[in-house]
Structure 1
Amino acid sequence: MWRDLLPVGRAATGGYRRYAWTGADAECRAWFREQAEQRGLLYEEDRNGNQWAWTSPGADAIVIGSHLDSVPDGGAYDGPLGVVSSFAALDLLRERGVHPARPLGIVNFGDEEGARFNVACVGSRLSAGVLTPDQARALVDADGIALGDAMERAGFDPAGIGADPERLARIGAFVELHVEQGRDLVHRDRAVGVASAIWPHGRWRFDFRGEANHAGTTRLVDRRDPMLTYANTVLAARKKAQLAGALATFGKVDAQPGAANAIAAEVRGWLDSRAADERTLDEVVADIIRAATERGDRDGVCVQITRESYTPIVEFAGPLRDRLAKQLGGAPILPTGAGHDAGILSAHVPTAMLFVRNPTGVSHSPAERAELVDCLAGVDALADVVTDLIGDSTSEDLG
């Protein structure tokens, strides 16, 4: 499975560009459907483009899976490891002769990374009702293509997108396996860990509007240069986050008109910020906004901020989390600053996450990886967890 999926969407950089509703995304979706049909699973695609594969119809199902899309030039493991491991875990269960009394589902959530339309976890947010259909259809990519139009071009009808409470009601528990995006498990010398919480995080768009002019004839004192305000904001974000023990990153920037010999008329930058608690996150972002607007006043630059997405802190269900850790022989429990579909679903169903050791600690980069022996340990762990959960007739004790 891994060898079949590995070439899809791979760029010359060695990283991956599997963006939502593109050709690479279609290949990933075809791969998922093929894996489901090869195993005799009931395949379906929901109204929001998420893919599901079920052992049998019914309620109180145990669902495992992740996503297949990527950030620009991302690594091979972020998302796909969870999907591949889910199919492998099902194969292992069948080899062991496990016959689940409850339905088992495998899912590929669409547009988890938000690389194309700048909102993460679009598929799960729509299903959970966190993102409204109108908000989703208003999203546009860098080429000005609306999300709805992109879905139509890919052969999907965007008219039906929206909350999907009936499908979520079928889920008794959701467990997402993911490569660790850090080195905690390396330091602990453990192959697999269990998530305790996801830090609150959000994405803000900063629009800096100045005045376009000639780079060679305009005196510095006469300039209204939005790039200057933007640069100061980037430095301020680093300082404010460092003082608060939080994280703040400007990882994407667009300057218009984009000429090397011209002062920009407008600079647009995207801030990603995360913290251990919501109060700290709110304070850090407020400080960054204040620094941007104050500098903008001095530079003669108009600053406008739009919050594009926000996810509050996620504390994974204690009973389910602790049960997984115990089932896995006292696996370490650790928090993460990375967002996941599991975090979106946690408000609706009992949810947990497993992490597989990443020797580099690097993620969202071609350097992201996991050793085969640890990947196999992750499959074993996922199969053990499913075996334990699948025998329950109700999920009341998991929430």
Structure 2
Amino acid sequence: MPSSFQEMWAELLPVGRHAGSGGYRRFAWTSADTECRDWFREQAAARGLDVETDRNGNQWAWLGDPSAGDAVVTGSHLDSVPDGGAFDGPLGVVSAFAALDELAARGVRPSRPVAVVNFGDEEGARFGLACAGSRLTAGQLTPERAAALRDADGVTLTQAMERAGHDPEAIGPDDERLARIGVFVELHVEQGRHLAGTGSPVGVASAIWPHGRWRFDFRGEANHAGTTRMQDRHDPMPAYAATMLAARERAAAAGARATFGKLLVEPNGVNAVPSLVRAWLDARAADEETLALLLGTIEDAAREHAAREGVEVGLERESFTPVVDFAPALRDELVRLLAARRPYEVPVLPTGAGHDAGILAAKVPTAMLFVRNPTGVSHSPAEHAREDDCVAGVEALADVLEGLACR
């Protein structure tokens, strides 16, 4: 018999959880990722769904004939950021299986094919590029660039795939698979507090802010910390630190987001002036013009502070996703389907977080449901959603699937 939402959640909860931090380290193509993939196959098998892994490592569990086309697809991802929370990604996958159970309990049989998907490497925690699985499928990441991606230990993405038992030779665009999809609906925990201020446990997404990742390389000169006079140093660390503070200040002034969340230092010695500070910027804004202006001011600050310290600075864009406006007709249909069975208003809200739904939006009509997050905290072990809100999310997703696939 299929597991209930609570049982599925309990089974998945320990996988990849770090005993010290309490957060999750479910990185792409690691043992924790393999355990998650095994769990996905087991849940699909318990429901009699046909499971396949596509050329890019994404998992699909099918109810009905995939070749019939016009499928209704739902799901999310199971990987995590370093020491991330339990809900970001997995809530959408667990809820998808639970929503199918709810349809079965209602005695409703889909007239269109339905699939649950687990997209691979959504967070980009290991190889530095978010949504790698969906980007490859949608043709937004070339096989050549994907093959060149490396983790902190120098392992390439293709090597990691091979070690996990997946053949990487065929990675790349998958137009045939995308052509099967009529709509894609992703349920996700809200990564913010919009719903927390309302009486609504569930909302519908309107758009995803444009966002990207940029790498700054501040190059100076290694030297002895004890013998090199302050005025003789070519230290990249102060240049980086001043840039980080400038980015924070300018993002706040623009109503945008700027975060330096990853840093590598060489030679990384307590008693050595660094020769290199490599820092990654995550920047997001409500529109592309604001984001471009923000990045320009941060780059200007970096060059100004680098010159002051006598160091060089290089800037490379590693990823960029333009603004995504979800399909208006599909979005409005979701609001109509949900409002018909609920005594509360169903808010429509934008998000600053990227998702696989945003990548697929360029190829197929996509939409998103958000489940209330009482604190708004995400990408942290403190990420949380109440069980009754999660159940409300399952019921909402079931209503959407019934409305889209069962008529």
Shorter chain as denominator, the TM-score bin is over 0.9
Match of residue 21 from structure 1 = 29
Structure 1 residue 290: deviation in Å? 1.2
Match of residue 35 from structure 1 = 43
Equivalent residue for 2:157, pick from 147, 150, 169: 147
SS in 1 for 2:127: coil
Match of residue 360 from structure 1 = 375
Match of residue 198 from structure 1 = 208
Equivalent residue for 2:193, pick from 183, 207, 218: 183
CA distance in 2 between counterparts of 1:222 and 1:146 reads 39
Match of residue 17 from structure 2 = 10
Contact 2:95–2:393 under 8 Å retained in 1: yes
CA distance in 2 between counterparts of 1:205 and 1:19 reads 21
* Identity %, equivalent residues: 68
Equivalent residue for 1:104, pick from 114, 121, 133: 114
Match of residue 165 from structure 1 = 175
Structure 1 stretches of 4+ with a deviation exceeding 4 A read none
Query: Residue type of the partner of 1:157?
Result: D
Matches within 5 A, 1:248-397: 248-329=258-339, 330-391=345-406
SS in 2 for 1:289: helix
Structure 2 unpaired stretches of 5+: 1-7, 340-344
CA distance in 1 between counterparts of 2:313 and 2:158 reads 29
Query: Residue type of the partner of 1:20?
Result: A
Structure 1 residue 202: deviation in Å? 0.2
Cα deviation per residue 1:154-194 (whole Å; 9 max; x = unaligned)? 11111110000000010000000000001110101210000
CA distance in 2 between counterparts of 1:97 and 1:251 reads 48
CA distance in 1 between counterparts of 2:207 and 2:192 reads 15
| 1:219 and 2:219 matched | no
CA distance in 1 between counterparts of 2:64 and 2:90 reads 23
Cα deviation per residue 1:41-96 (whole Å; 9 max; x = unaligned)? 01000000000000012200000000000000000000000000000000110111
Structure 1 residue 153: deviation in Å? 1.0
Cα deviation per residue 1:301-327 (whole Å; 9 max; x = unaligned)? 111111000000000011110111121
| 1:120 and 2:167 matched | no
Match of residue 4 from structure 2 = none
Pairs aligned (count): 392
SS in 2 for 1:328: helix
| 1:230 and 2:240 matched | yes
TM-score (norm 1): 0.97
Structure 1 residue 298: deviation in Å? 1.7
Cα deviation per residue 1:328-372 (whole Å; 9 max; x = unaligned)? 114100000000000000011110000000111100001101101
CA distance in 2 between counterparts of 1:370 and 1:391 reads 29
Structure 1 residue 391: deviation in Å? 3.6
Query: Residue type of the partner of 2:133?
Result: G
Q: CA RMSD in A?
A: 0.7
Match of residue 396 from structure 1 = none
Contact 2:109–2:406 under 8 Å retained in 1: no
TM-score (norm 2): 0.95
Contact 2:203–2:346 under 8 Å retained in 1: yes
Cα deviation per residue 1:9-44 (whole Å; 9 max; x = unaligned)? 000200000000100000000000111111110100
Matches within 5 A, 1:35-74: 35-57=43-65, 58-74=68-84
